[in-house]
Each structure stands twice: as structure tokens, then as C-alpha cells.
Structure 1
Amino acid sequence: MSTAFRQSFVESAKQYLPITIGQLPWAIAAGSVLKSVGLSFWECVGMTVIVYSGTAQLGTITLIMAGTSQWLIALAACAFSIRFLLFSALIAPAFENSSKKMRLFASYILIDGVIAIYSNTILSEKDKAKRYGVYLGPSLLNVVTWLAGTTAGVLFADQIPEKYHFEFMATIVLSVLLAPAFRQLKSLIVCLVSGLTACLFINLPMRTGFFVAILAGIFTGALLERLQKKTS
């Protein structure tokens, strides 16, 4: 490890620490929910490690409880995580000359918060060591925090009072991450369209309204990009 890598790793991790602390209650809530549906300790931990997505984990719980087909559950998990396909395409240039192992590892630890906060830095940093440090620092910190939080939720699910509503912390954390995007009119329009679509289709079965909202946001963003290019 070079000095540049260590410095950027530590600095970015320190900057991201408040975000991980903020999502810790969400992780605890996710773990307690997994435990409450009858999964064993190792099943809960295994799902957390394999899926590594709070949205996909909680989104598929209802399907698991209903005894839905495993293929449909897997498909739903992929749909809930479709945003990561866009995130990976965004930062792919930063790992263009990386080894296959590095790219696979980077794809596994990919998360919303790091993309929202550090994507511009990662893409603009020419020093490879610093670029890796900026990405790996907060990403690995998030892995540790999420695994620790969900494990704690599984172990102490019976001791967590329902009145605390830890799951609401997810909304708070995501709202903080989205706030900087509102500075751009285009991003604000995409957020509004996606949010309103989710509200309109909230009663669709199997939470398919969530997928419709994602598609609406993607379509709106692509349309605005095309209009911007035509006018420029």
C-alpha cells in the first residue's frame, strides 16, 4: 500500500463515518426483520453477505413469507438492485485498467452513498492509488457497519421495542444523500417523477410499483439528457 492510498483511504472513510452511523439503525432493523420471519441466524447472515442490499433484503422478505418461487424471489432481488447497474456503468471508467479481481470486488461493495458523494472525485482523480483509496475506504467501512448492524439485529431482535421504528432511519439517510442532487433542475425533476410514480402505483401487487417508479425515473433522465443535447 502506498502512502497516497492509505491517506485517501483513511480520509474518505472518516468523511463517510457519519453516513454509516446514520444507517446503523436501518441495518439493525433489517436484521431484526429477517429474524422475525423465521430465518435462522446463519440464514440471516448468509442473506446479508450474499445479497448485501438492504432494499433487496427487505423487499423480498414478503415473497419469502408467502412461499413464492425461488426464481421469482431472485428476480425481484435483481429488480430491487437494478440501480447498481447504473452506478457501476457510471464509475466503470475509473476501473478500466484494473484487474478482473479488483473489478469484481469493487462491484460487490458498490453502494449508493459512495456513488452519491465520491463519484466525481473517483472519476476525476488521475492517481490510481488515491482513486482506489477514495472508493475502498468508505465502501469497506459500510460493509463492516452493515454486517455488524444486521448481525446485532438478528441477535437482539426480541429485545428491540417496536415503538422505536428503526426502519424509518433508511428514509432519513437516503434523503440526506439525495439532497445535493436537488441543486440541479434535471435531478430534481427525475426525483419528483420517480417519487410521484411510486406513490401512484403503491398498491400494485408484489411491490411492482417500485419497479415502475425506477423505470419512470430512468426514462425521465434519458429524455432530459436527449433534450439537453438537442438544445446545446
Structure 2
Amino acid sequence: MTTTFRQSAISGIKDYLPLCLGQLPWALASGVAMKSAGFSLWECIGMTLIVYSGSAQLGTLPLIVSGASIFVVGLTTIALALRFLIFSALMAPAFEGCNKKVKIWAGYVMSDGVIAAYSQKILADPQLESRTGLYLGTSSFNVMTWMLGTVVGAVFTQQIPEEYHFEFMATIALAILLAPALKQWKAAAVCLVSGLTACLLIQLPMRLGFFIAILAGLGTGALFETLERKRK
């Protein structure tokens, strides 16, 4: 861990701290939801460590509680976490020259917030140690914040009133990060198509509407990119 790596990591963590605080309520809500579903504290910690995705954790709990098959639960988890496959493809160039262990850890700690906040800055940074320090430092700090919030939520479930609806705080924080990207017409079109698709198909079972909305957004983005390349 070089000086450049440490400085970049510390700088990223300081700048990312407000968003981490914004995701704490969502982490608390995840812990409360898992504990309310009948999970033990260690099961809550285990699910958080293995899945590490608020949407996948909260999205699969109703299926687990209702006794759905492992196949259905697994398929739903994949659908809800499919966006990370796109994020991985986006960030892959930033880790050229890194060993496999670093790449595996980078994939595990990946999160929506860090990608939204720093992806452009990381990909534009020509120095490997600087960009990996920014990504890995901030993402690792994000993991610790999420784990802490989940454990606190699971431990103090009985003391947190249900009517507080903490889970919406993280959505609001991510929406704020998304707003600047909407200045680009292609990004706005992708958001519009995927958002409308999710709303129209919200009644589909097993959250299939969410999965189809992801594919619709990806297809829209790919279409615009293809048309732009042909025009050029």
C-alpha cells in the first residue's frame, strides 16, 4: 500500500462520507427486516456477508419467508443484482495490471453509490495506484458501514419503530447522485424506459418486472450506442 494509494483512499472516504451516512438507514432497515423474518443474528450477518446487496436482501426475504424454492430465491437474487455485471464491465479497464486477488475484492465490494459517485473520475485517472486507492478504499469503507448498520438494525429491532421507513433514505441519496447524469439525453432515455417498464410490470410475480426493466434499460442504451456509432 503506497503513499499514493493511501492518500487517494483517504480522500475518497472523506468525500463519500455523506453518502455512507445516507445509506445507514437502509442498512438498519435490512437488519430489521431480516430479524423480523425470523433470522438469528448470525444468519443476518451471514446473509449480509454473502449477498452484500440491500435490494437483493430485502427483495428475497418475502420469498424465503413464504417457503419458495432455492431456485426461485437464487434466480430473484441474480435478477436484482444483475446491474453489478454491467458495473463490472464498466470498471474493468481501471484494474488492468492488478492481480486476481485485487480484482476479486474489487468485485465483492462493488456498490451503486461508489460507481455513481466515482466511476468517471476513476476511469479518467491514468495512475493505477491512485484509481485503485480511490475505488478500493471508498468501497471497503462502504462495506464496513453497511455491515455495521445491518448488525445494529438486527440487534435493536424491537427498539426501532416500524413507521420510520428508513429504507427510502438510501434511494433518495442515490437519486441525488443520478440527477447530474440525466443531463445527457441517452442516460435520461435509459432511465425513462427502465423506470416506466418497472412501473408497468410491478404486478408480475417474483419481481420479474424489475428484471425485465433492467433488460429494457440495457437494450435502450445499447441501441443508442449502436445508432451513434453508425452515424459517426
The answer to whether TM tops 0.5 is yes
TM-score (norm 2): 0.97
Q: 2:128 aligned with 1:132, yes or no?
A: no
Note the C-alpha offset of 1:171: 2.1
TM-score (norm 1): 0.97
Q: In terms of mean alpha carbon deviation, does 202-211 or 115-124 score higher?
A: 115-124
CA RMSD of aligned residues (A): 1.0
Note the C-alpha offset of 1:174: 2.1
Partner of 2:78: 78
Instruction: After TM superposition, list the pairs within 5 Å mapping 1:145-164 onto structure 2.
Output: 145-164=145-164
Partner of 1:28: 28
Instruction: In structure 2, give the amino acid aligned to 1:6.
Output: R
Partner of 1:113: 113
Note the C-alpha offset of 1:71: 2.1
Per-residue CA distance 1:129-166 (angstroms, 9 max, x = gap): 11111101210111011000000100011111112111
Instruction: In structure 2, give the amino acid aligned to 1:182.
Output: L
Counterparts of 2:195 and 2:137, CA distance in 1: 31
Counterparts of 2:163 and 2:68, CA distance in 1: 30
Per-residue CA distance 1:151-210 (angstroms, 9 max, x = gap): 010001111111211111132122112112111010001001111111100111111111
Per-residue CA distance 1:37-77 (angstroms, 9 max, x = gap): 00111001000000000011011011101111112211211
Instruction: After TM superposition, list the pairs within 5 Å mapping 1:42-121 onto structure 2.
Output: 42-121=42-121
Counterparts of 2:226 and 2:74, CA distance in 1: 33
Instruction: In structure 2, give the amino acid aligned to 1:149.
Output: G
Give the length in aligned residue pairs.
232
Q: 2:177 aligned with 1:177, yes or no?
A: yes
Determine helix, strand or coil for the equivalent of 2:167. helix
Counterparts of 1:171 and 1:145, CA distance in 2: 16
Counterparts of 2:168 and 2:22, CA distance in 1: 11
Q: 2:189 aligned with 1:189, yes or no?
A: yes
Percentage of pairs with the same residue: 58
Partner of 1:166: 166
Determine helix, strand or coil for the equivalent of 1:166. coil
Moved runs in structure 1, 4+ residues, more than 4 A? Answer: none
Q: In terms of mean alpha carbon deviation, does 42-51 or 95-104 score higher?
A: 95-104
Decide whether the 8 Å contact of 2:60 with 2:73 is kept in 1.
Answer: yes
Note the C-alpha offset of 1:100: 0.7
Instruction: In structure 2, give the amino acid aligned to 1:81.
Output: A
Structure 2 gaps, min length 5: none
Partner of 1:12: 12
Instruction: After TM superposition, list the pairs within 5 Å mapping 1:210-221 onto structure 2.
Output: 210-221=210-221
